[in-house]
Amino acid sequence: MEAVLLLEDNTIFRGKAIGKIGTTTGELCFNTGMTGYQEIYTDPSYFGQIVINTTSHIGNYGTIREDNESDSVKINGMVCNHFSPMYSRTTADDSLQNYLENANLVGISDIDTRALVKHIRHKGAMNAVISSENTDIDFLQTKLQETPSMDGLELSSKVTTEKPYFVGSQAARFKVAVLDLGVKNNILNNFHSRDCYCKVFSAKTSFEEMQKFKPDGYFISNGPGDPAAMPYAVDTVKKILENEMPVFGICLGHQILASAMGVKTYKMHNGHRGLNHPVKNLITGKSEITSQNHGFGVERKSLENNKDIIVTHVNLNDDTIEGIKIKGKKAFSVQYHPESSPGPHDSRYLFDEFIRLMAE
């Protein structure tokens, strides 16, 4: 069946329907990873977004239950060039087509993804609509007008856990309180493999409630949406910092930690999403290839005016802030994803650094 992708600036792409037949809207973004599409689709940080896969073949290795990063598909829509209804991995559970249909996900294939990515790289992130049930442009424009901008949008409360849950053994050496803003499974797996017992709390849990767990450290997770629209999380992190406990933040957690220190965040022209972003560790002088997924960043000028923060990592592509630590406190964060799911393992030492702080 025919499908249409309409962008906010009225640019039109026509292709073939994949996944569920229907209509969907969201902010259009692109991921440059050659593999890991299932992990991308189930990453809560992508909630509310339509993902363009820049690699040419999608679906060729099917899906497998163990690759899910959350309990469900979190993206709003999917765009690709060549879509494969068949798969070759012998351990796969199902085809990507069935996987998307079961998740009620609308997608479009057979379009020039290179031209599309070039367009939004130049024009900047924008909303889009995909439809395989109604290709009338007036109808699609109406749908687009109803779609909120990601700028100023609070989304963590839509993907966080409703009730606290535990990961790991009660006999573990360390107890970690996890503020779930949209946490990925493999982050929790990295803690579990380092002898941590995690209690995962809902995004709007108070510090006082988390403290009852008597943790050895606090983790502020990744997640979707605008950090400037999350004063509840910023207030919680401020109280954690006052308590002088070890704090580790990833992605949105990095932005929330910076906000708790009075640093501003901003909406990026185009976010960083892929598995090959070079980052330099300013403490060691070494570089690392990182997995990233974010559309907001920490404002450099605001950070440089803050004497209580040390910049620890920078992006070698555009010099954006990739890591910070707080002077006089056991608190640090990075903008990228050291759990590397999917992606390289260059940055997993950061989990070990958090363990060291808790051991002290």
Is the four-CA dihedral 150, 155, 158, 161 of positive or negative sign?
Answer: positive
| Half-sphere exposure (Cβ direction) of 40: Cα atoms closer than 13 Å | 29
The strand pair at 265-281 and 309-315 is best described as antiparallel
C-alpha distances out from residue 314 to 45, 229, 305, Å: 21, 25, 17
Q: What is the DSSP string of 180-225?
A: ESS--HHHHHHHHTTTEEEEEEETT--HHHHHTT--SEEEE---SB
For 230, the token pair is: 């999350």
Are 41 and 176 within 8 A, CB to CB?
no
Phi, psi of 208 (to 5 degrees): -60, -40
**ω into 342 cis (within 30 of 0):** yes
Residue 123's contacts (CB-CB under 8 Å, 6 or more residues apart) are 9
What's the rounded Cα separation, in Å, for the pair 69 and 45? 10
Are 221 and 179 within 8 A, CB to CB?
yes
Are 250 and 178 within 8 A, CB to CB?
no
Choose the catalytic residue: 29, 251, 254, 294.
251
| Count of other CB atoms within 10 angstroms of residue 352 | 12
Annotation marks residue 251 as catalytic: yes
For 30, the token pair is: 């692109």
What's the rounded Cα separation, in Å, for the pair 256 and 231? 9
Closest CA to 332 of 263, 251, 249: 249
C-alpha distances out from residue 251 to 163, 189, 273, 325, Å: 23, 17, 12, 14
Q: Which residues are catalytic?
A: 251, 337, 339
